[in-house]
Amino acid sequence: MTAPPAPDCPPLAGALRADVAVIGAGYTGLSAALHLARAGADVVVLDALAPGAGGAGRNVGLVNAGLWLMPQDLIARAGPEHGPRLLDCLGRAPAEVWQVIAEEAIACEAIPNGTLHCAPDAAGVAALTARAAQWQALGADLRLLDRDETSARTGSLGFQAALFDPRAGTIQPLAYARGLARTAMAKGARICGHSPVSGLRETAQGWQLATPQGQVDAAQVILATDLFPGAPRPECAQEQVILPYFNFATDPLPPELRAAILPGGEGAWDTRKVLTSFRLDAAGRFIIGSVGQLGALDTAVHHAWAARQMARLYPALRGVALQWGWWGRIGTTSDALPRLHQPAPGLWSVSGYNGRGIAPGTVFGRLLAELCLGRISADQMPLPLTPSSPAQLRSLRGLALRAGAAALHLVSGHGAR
């Protein structure tokens, strides 16, 4: 555990009133709470466990601009009105993360040194070339690095090219979530941990939320539970297919090993469909991740693959133990775009970041706060208001992703030197 301790968030006990109740203390809910509290609104956040207990505390820590989609695909899918707006908003989203971290002095190992999207093969080089051209046409300052510069920047001979995005960077993800929680509380937000919301009903004044030991009455509600099935409105979860993703980490590496890996401090991942992500943390731990679940059946397969892949990328790390492992659920939508819903008046949600939730969650949390404050209207949002529609064959597709990744990791990388 490398994050600062969690702030003290005792469970809700008794009845509270608030202007806005937020369900879920991930990036979306916490950013909303921070901005509401900054504006002087009375806000209560309820989390089933604790701030950062969901995807926010389990992810890779890559603070990316945009989504996984190519910029032009994003515009085509989101449409001529929302597409350019969404791309512009998410292109600027990392800057907003760096700004919040600086303004609120959040200690979360923020390294705004960019990211390297690395191509291990010709198909990857072609994809990065197209991605670079599309972003550059929009005025973004991304740079495609050749093989030599990629080797120098990654410290690995495993890639033919890389796309450097100077807008992006890395954080310790749980530390960022806890920092948002602490700073929102310092500005007056009340955050209750171990307070799963089981009931949500409309009242004459707004909404009433029920937890095991209490209730909150609020004029408006932000539902920020992303893909948690136990949430009081399960629609957000049901429209996402779960992509499991794991990370393994070494203990801090000795300085001579550390110096040769990503010496510029970027975060990195590759263009493969079953991708590899890798970075160093502030203490010099090497963190490597990929698609897969660390369950009883698959942990050994993914751990062995991660050790082989680490040694393939960085031969000097062969034999270094991957001591720590964790995994989480990434929610994916049918068109890889997030969703904005208003299931009823005064009830808002944004979910489905498709593995890109740090910067988008921060930005959409602010935008949800602005909606609740009446500073913007729904038609000014970078996403259209849509009804939710459940994903087809959701469980089966999730299982297929899990099994497919395990099968691939079982066979890949053997015999690689």
Ligand X SMILES: Cc1cc2nc3c(=O)[nH]c(=O)nc-3n(C[C@H](O)[C@H](O)[C@H](O)COP(=O)(O)OP(=O)(O)OC[C@H]3O[C@@H](n4cnc5c(N)ncnc54)[C@H](O)[C@@H]3O)c2cc1C
Contacting positions for ligand X (CB under 6 A): 23-29, 46-49, 53-56, 58-62, 64, 196-197, 224-226, 228, 230-232, 245, 327-330, 351, 353, 355-359, 361
Our CB check for ligand X shows the closer of 27 and 257 to be: 27
Our CB check for ligand X shows the closer of 59 and 250 to be: 59
Our CB check for ligand X shows the closer of 82 and 178 to be: 178
Our CB check for ligand X shows the closer of 257 and 276 to be: 276
> Which residues, 6+ apart, have CB-to-CB distance to 160 below 8 Å?
119, 120, 121, 122, 124, 125, 147, 150
- Residue nearest ligand X by beta-carbon distance: 357
Our CB check for ligand X shows the closer of 26 and 155 to be: 26
CB of 51 to ligand X, least distance (A): 7
Cα angle 304-242-271, degrees, rounded to a multiple of 5: 60
CB of 359 to ligand X, least distance (A): 6
CB of 72 to ligand X, least distance (A): 21
CB of 170 to ligand X, least distance (A): 8
Strand 241-250 and strand 267-270: the pairing is unpaired
CB of 332 to ligand X, least distance (A): 10
Output phi, psi for 319, to 5 deg. Answer: 90, -10
CB of 315 to ligand X, least distance (A): 25
CB of 48 to ligand X, least distance (A): 4
Our CB check for ligand X shows the closer of 59 and 150 to be: 59
Structural element, H or E, at residue 162:
strand 161-165
Question: Bridge partners of 270?
Answer: 118
CA dist., res. 8 & res. 181, Å (int): 10
Q: Provide the angle, in degrees to the nearest 10, between the axes of the packed helices 122-137 and 71-91.
A: 50
Our CB check for ligand X shows the closer of 286 and 353 to be: 353
Q: How many residues does the chain have?
A: 417
Our CB check for ligand X shows the closer of 330 and 405 to be: 330
CB of 78 to ligand X, least distance (A): 18
The two tokens of residue 280 are: 């160093």
CA 315 to chain centre: 30
The two tokens of residue 63 are: 């603070």
Distances (CA, A) of 48 to 11, 57, 194, 368: 9, 14, 5, 20
CA dist., res. 45 & res. 63, Å (int): 24
Per the listing, tokens 């490597």 go with 288
Q: Is 254 exposed, middle or buried (0-12, 13-18, 19+ CB in 10 A)?
A: exposed
